[in-house]
Amino acid sequence: MKSNAASRQTNKVEVSVYECEIHLKFRLIEEKCALGDRDELLDLLIEAFTSGADDYMELIEMRVETEEIADLDASPQMRRQLMRLRNSSELT
């Protein structure tokens, strides 16, 4: 058990939990019927956005933020995954 060393952050793999925030605002030319399906809406918009700005899409605003947070703020499932990763030497 090298738990002490591990807790002082001598991790083999430097993984952490991050709180990520993406805010995108853009104008999009689209067919009216295409935006009606709420379930598909996010996928459709993300696809439209990631295909890049052109005559069909113009970016208005984009904000991306990441912040490292304490492990304890994540769910138990996520913390377990984190422990597995930190104790594994397989991850590169």
Distance, CA of 30 to CA of 36 (rounded, Å) = 11
Q: Does 89 engage in binding with a second copy (CB under 8 A)?
A: no
Cα–Cα nearest to 27, from 60, 71, 5: 60
Give, in order, the Cα–Cα distances in Å from 84 to each of 28, 79, 88.
42, 9, 6
Choose which of 1, 2, 8, 14 interacts with a second copy (CB under 8 A): 14
Q: Does 6 engage in binding with a second copy (CB under 8 A)?
A: no
* Residue numbers 53-72 binding a second copy by CB under 8 A: 55-56, 58, 60, 62, 64, 66, 68-69
Contact 24, 64 (CB under 8 A): no
Choose which of 12, 25, 87, 88 interacts with a second copy (CB under 8 A): 25
The values of phi and psi at residue 53, to 5°, are -70, 135
Q: Does 35 engage in binding with a second copy (CB under 8 A)?
A: yes
Residues that bind a second copy (CB under 8 A): 13-33, 35, 41-43, 45-46, 48-50, 55-56, 58, 60, 62, 64, 66, 68-69, 73-75, 77-78, 80-82, 85, 91
